[in-house]
């Protein structure tokens, strides 16, 4: 999106005061300001009683866009996006966001809605770029960012996905608002996708599987269930990510090792926890040595994650350490 397009969007946000209407305006009229079109859209909305794609609740922090499935070509799949500045996010110890309300919006657990699910073939992802989307600027469809090889493999596994969800009506099961059960099921379907990606050595696939599993673990904690099995599953995915060296950015690698250390501490494997803490210390030592020849090199990023792991290690006997 160019600077002019961004300026148009900002002006529309001021004039329309509703992100759903802004999205509809851009989809219908493109990134050009026209007061006649703005007034026309407002009048249509007033006659209809609610903007297209809205839930009818002005305090709802989400709005809808429509995407198409890259597997079965199911059109008009609803994808729930967050309105700007509608929720605050605070990461828990496993870096999974907890959501808080911002007036005038009500508080929801966006994790329950963030995975878009095709109601036909159950292809699922929290990243709308994995679906076929519509480009407002070019007025054309954007293809899925997934490789043709991944998409072809996913087409072969529709029945496998349908075994994950036993609901008689998939569209109703994943509609808004979602239950904790349907929210967890949406992440299980997303994990199925990432495991297919991992089998074809797609970058970040194992890491995404681990993060999705941590989302399931948080939902389980919130409804009073034991999350131990999910945490152990996340460890498996993150360990595969570490072994495959699929994270090419040092900051992400430090974060990954922090997660492994934290998870092992949580499941009471202190030996493995210390092992990964040692990996961070080793990386810091290497950076410190390299900084002697290159002053631009810093240990600030790795220090951040070392400090976080040390803090958890120091507090490991605290009974409320894992309460979120």
Pair of tokens at residue 287: 């950076």
Q: What are phi and psi of 263, to 5 degrees?
A: -65, -40
94 and 199 assigned to the same domain: yes
Answer for the pair 214, 94: CB distance below 8 angstroms, yes or no. yes
Domain that holds residue 65: 55-211
Q: Which residues pair with 62 in a beta bridge?
A: 82
Same-domain status, 119 and 181: yes
Residue 312 lies inside a defined structural domain of this protein: no
Integer Cα distance of 285 and 74 in angstroms: 52
Question: Which of the listed residues 32, 53, 74 is the one where a domain comes to its end?
Answer: 53
DSSP-H helix ranges across the chain: 3-16, 19-29, 35-48, 148-155, 158-164, 170-173, 180-199, 205-222, 228-244, 250-266, 270-291, 300-314
Residue 234 domain-assigned (yes or no): no
Instruction: Looking at the structure, tell me whether residues 111 and 19 fall in a common domain.
Output: no
> Which pLDDT score, from 0 to 100, does residue 9 have?
77
168 shares its domain with 127: yes
Record the tokens describing residue 51, joined without a space: 């903007």
What pLDDT does 136 receive?
66
Last residue of a domain, one of 36, 53, 70: 53
Helix (H, G, I), strand (E, B) or coil at 134: strand
Distance CA 118, CA 126 (A): 12
182 & 65 share domain: yes
Number of domains in the chain: 2
Q: Are residues 68 and 133 in the same domain?
A: yes
Q: What is the pLDDT of residue 284?
A: 95
* DSSP per-residue codes, 13-65: HHHH--HHHHHHHHHHH-S---HHHHHHHHHHHHHHSS-TT--S-TT-SEEEE
Instruction: Work out the number of other CB atoms within 10 angstroms of the CB of residue 64.
Output: 17
Q: Give the rounded distance of the alpha carbon of 54 from its chain centre.
A: 21
Interatomic CA distance for residues 129 and 226, integer angstroms: 33
Q: At what angle do helices 19-29 and 3-16 cross, to 10 degrees?
A: 130
Residue 14 sits in the same domain as residue 149: no
With respect to residue 226, please indicate whether it lies within any of the assigned structural domains: no
**C-alpha dihedral over 93, 96, 101, 102, to 10 degrees?**
100
* 324 residues of the chain, pLDDT tens digit each: 444 667 877 787 777 766 667 777 777 777 778 888 877 777 666 544 444 344 446 788 998 889 999 999 999 999 999 988 899 999 999 999 999 988 888 889 999 999 999 999 999 999 999 999 987 666 788 899 999 999 999 999 999 999 999 898 999 999 988 999 999 999 999 999 999 999 999 999 999 999 999 999 999 999 999 999 999 999 999 999 999 999 889 999 999 999 999 999 999 999 999 999 999 999 999 999 999 999 899 999 999 999 999 999 999 999 889 876
Handedness of CA 237, 242, 245, 249 (dihedral sign): positive
């Amino acid at each position: 999106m160019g600077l002019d397009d961004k300026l148009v969007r900002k002006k529309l946000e001021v004039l329309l005061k509703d992100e759903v209407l802004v999205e509809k305006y851009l989809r219908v009229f493109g990134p050009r300001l026209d007061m006649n079109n703005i007034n026309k859209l407002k009048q249509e909305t007033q006659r209809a009683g609610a903007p297209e794609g809205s839930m009818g609740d002005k305090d709802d922090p989400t709005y809808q866009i429509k995407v198409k499935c890259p597997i079965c070509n199911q059109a008009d799949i609803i994808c729930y996006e967050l309105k700007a500045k509608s929720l605050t996010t605070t990461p828990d110890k496993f870096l999974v966001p907890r959501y808080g309300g911002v007036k005038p919006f009500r508080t929801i657990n966006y994790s329950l809605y963030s995975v878009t699910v095709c109601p036909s073939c159950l292809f699922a992802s929290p990243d709308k770029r994995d679906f076929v989307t519509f480009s407002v600027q070019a007025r054309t469809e954007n293809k899925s960012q997934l490789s043709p090889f991944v998409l072809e493999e996913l087409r072969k596994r529709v029945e496998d996905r349908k075994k994950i969800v036993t609901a008689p009506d998939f569209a109703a099961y994943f509609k808004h608002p979602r239950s904790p059960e349907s929210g967890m099921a949406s992440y299980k379907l997303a994990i199925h996708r990432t495991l297919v990606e991992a089998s074809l050595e797609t970058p970040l696939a194992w890491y995404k599987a681990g993060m999705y599993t941590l989302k399931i673990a948080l939902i389980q904690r919130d409804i009073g269930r034991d999350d131990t099995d999910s945490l152990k599953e996340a460890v498996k995915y993150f360990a595969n990510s570490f072994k495959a060296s699929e994270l090419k950015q040092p900051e992400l690698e430090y974060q990954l090792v922090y997660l492994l250390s934290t998870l092992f501490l949580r499941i009471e494997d202190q030996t493995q926890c210390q092992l990964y803490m040692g990996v961070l210390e080793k990386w810091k030592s290497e950076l410190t040595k390299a900084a002697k020849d290159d002053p631009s090199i810093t240990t600030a990023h790795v220090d951040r994650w070392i400090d976080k792991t040390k803090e958890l290690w120091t507090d490991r006997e605290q009974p409320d350490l894992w309460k979120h």
